[in-house]
A and B are shown apart, each in its own frame.
Chain A
């Protein structure tokens, strides 16, 4: 099946080759980082995690969101997702790979990464995160590949795949919950030290992931004439709306607790993000933009569901995706570290090589997703024509 991934017309080959350029640039920057150390990034002794860890956090959400098509399809026999479910699973596979790459480039001693397995530390959330992420990668890869192969051969999926699919459903929730626990169990990091991190992560995951899936389906329709089915997209839009409303609600309850209680440590990080603190206000426009986009996406989504307008749907999904990306991919990590243990404020901005390394990883994602979807579409075209 894998051979289909590379077969295509000139435009397709050009697309693949084009994305190899940022991959190469990213790799070159990574070699530079390996030689000089992580000092070439914008991170430092206060903001010890930056763009890489933030992208990891955002991408875990994208990976987890596959459950929003897998669960309805396999548990509730929701046929509208018949054509989408495999796209969701391959999106999850790609997202997990990007997560792992982002963690890898963030390590000071990447050559020793296997120490996590050689000296397993069950008390460390990071150890469990590695386990659940690689497990989730394996599960989705096996499920997606097997079901696609059966589709191609017009056979029924083997019996053993069902338990794996059912297992992948709570597993998806687990990856983002464990990722939230990386943050919410740390004393003295007050933006993170709240029980709302895990539920909010899930809410942003279940809005941003399906939003990306909708956009990908619309793109495939344009670029490859693939029809995901309007009903499927409509149902996904419902998921996005509800998850987004839940996310806004969680932001509201967190702000209430922080500001009404007036506890300085609880309040300061949110103050830094939304109003600026001690003259540091780089995050303020971003955070408000994110919030506005999140709020605006709701009526647009509702409207597009009612009228079946796919342009509006695309716009709303774009807003959701950018809003959650700013929230998790910029604000959450740097915001949580901006106020140092000494109470001083440090603003963080990624450097160019840091951004290019991350861009290179995203480009790997585009390539992987293209190859996966190419296989899916060619199998589909074959089965539908026969």
Chain B
């Protein structure tokens, strides 16, 4: 019995018949939370029309993410660590907004996060393999292997990565015991909540957004919400000319 549960926890019992058999014998709370969410290529769609309308959310997305992942709140802007934050539209889409189209976005605070690029320059340059792209497209960080050379930060054209210039732990107001804290001298960034996906949950920011402005799903699955949104709406991505192929899409009005 215990053996079977362990097998299930280790994700070995992934084949459906076995899983069904397990479900019959293992008390339901053991398998909780749901089975891992899987995808061919994870992507996020941020509907700016909804997002920017929501004036009273007080950055629910960033607060949820930073609380969950023990991201410190450091006052010195040059030592800041952030996974998702707001940035002026003109900064995010430098050559894409002109005085007519998209002009309204230029001064708006728009959420920015790691784009989980299909062709990520950051992983290419890492000398230790501490940051790498998974087969489902998520670009992850192994803070235990990172030597803190910051080559990945030089390579990321989006400023999505943060370095721990100082020990982040004293700047944590509360610590989420479910997620590791980091030490000084390593790089970190948004992980598309790989730990939540493994438990069958959507990313923290997606869940936290009170307007439902963020959608998350599989680009390879025609039925996924992201594909539907992208087929039906006009979207832009950050600096498409660099060939990085971001997996974060922004829906804007035409």
Contacts and interface: CB of A to CB of B under 8 A. Distances in A.
Interface of A: 36-39, 43-46, 48-49, 103, 106-110, 112-113, 115-116, 118-119, 121, 123-127, 130, 182, 185-189, 264-265, 337, 340-344, 346
Given A119-B128, A121-B129, A342-B87, A187 B154 contact: no
Given A115-B128, A342-B92, A45 B80 contact: yes
Nearest to B187: A108
A125 B125 contact: yes
B58 to A, nearest CB: 22
B91 A343 contact: yes
B166 A36 contact: yes
Contact of A49 (B80, B87, B150): B150
15 contacts: A36-B184, A39-B76, A43-B165, A45-B78, A45-B80, A48-B150, A49-B150, A103-B149, A108-B187, A110-B148, A113-B147, A119-B129, A124-B151, A126-B151, A187-B121
Residues of B contacting A: mostly: loop
A107 B79 contact: no
Q: Which 6 pairs between the two chains have the least Cβ-Cβ distance?
A: A108-B148, A188-B157, A44-B78, A108-B185, A39-B165, A341-B159
Contacts of B165: 37-39, 43-45
Nearest to A337: B154
Contacts of B154: 48-49, 186, 189, 337
Interface in B221-254: 239, 242-244
Contact of B126 (A36, A112, A124): A124
A341 B125 contact: no
Interface string B108-135: 0000000000000100111111100000
B125 A124 contact: yes
Interface in B129-155: 129-130, 145-151, 153-155
Residues of A contacting B: mostly: loop
A108 B159 contact: no
B70 interface: no
Given A37-B164, A337-B154, A341-B156, A109 B146 contact: yes
Interface residues of B, number: 48
Given A37-B185, A38-B185, A106 B149 contact: yes
Given A37-B164, A108-B186, 18 more contacts: A37-B165, A37-B166, A37-B167, A38-B185, A39-B166, A44-B165, A48-B153, A103-B149, A107-B147, A107-B185, A108-B184, A115-B147, A119-B129, A123-B125, A126-B149, A126-B151, A185-B125, A187-B243
Contacts of B159: 45-46, 340-342
Interface string B163-187: 1111100000000000000001111
A107 B149 contact: yes
A110 B186 CA distance: 11
Contacts of B76: 39, 44
B164 to A, nearest CB: 7
A189 B158 CA distance: 11
A119 B126 CA distance: 10
B90 interface: yes
A188 B242 CA distance: 7
A46 B128 CA distance: 22
Nearest to A34: B185
